[in-house]
Amino acid sequence: MKYIAIDLGLKRIGLAYSAHKDLVTPLPAVIRKNRNQASSDVKKVIDEWEADAVVIGIPLGGSSEGEMRRRIEHFMKLVDFKGELYFQDESGSSLEAEDLIKGEMRYTRDGRVDSISAMIILQRFLLTIKLK
């Protein structure tokens, strides 16, 4: 199974890929100009990597979960992805991503942190299905 993970943000969309349960690779982030451009760019990545499933980070259990789920589902309708769609708790993934690169590279808002966050989201998801 080939997976693409998405850390969906209003300015940047982090992406990561895995075709193996033990290896996840961050991909270049999509810089979001508008929702049509963003959904088209995400669709291109999904098609290029021939993903069977998409894992999307969502803040589970919070008061905003329902609203975030609605927004994510709307975005994925624009992407027009026909494969499996999974939600994974993203809590703390951005902070964890920032900690991973701290001291290694200068922090810039170029999407690297967002894609590392997507990598963490996908690693969490793969761990949960591995444990089942």
For residue 56, the cross-strand partners are: 6, 87
Q: How many residues can be counted in the chain?
A: 132
Instruction: Count the domains in the chain.
Output: 1
Q: Which domain CATH number covers 41?
A: 3.30.420.140
For 76-89, b/e burial (b = at least 16 CB within 10 A) is: beebebeeeebbbb
Q: Are 85 and 76 in contact (CB under 8 A)?
A: yes
3-59 tens-digit pLDDT: 999 999 889 999 999 997 789 999 999 999 999 999 999 999 999 999 999 999 888
| Confidence (pTM) | 0.85
47-103 tens-digit pLDDT: 999 999 999 988 877 677 788 888 888 999 999 999 999 998 887 667 676 666 765
Q: How far apart are CA 51 and CA 98, in angstroms?
A: 27
3-state secondary structure of 102: coil
Residue with tokens 């991503």: 97
Q: Are 14 and 29 in contact (CB under 8 A)?
A: yes
Q: Which domain holds residue 56?
A: 3-131
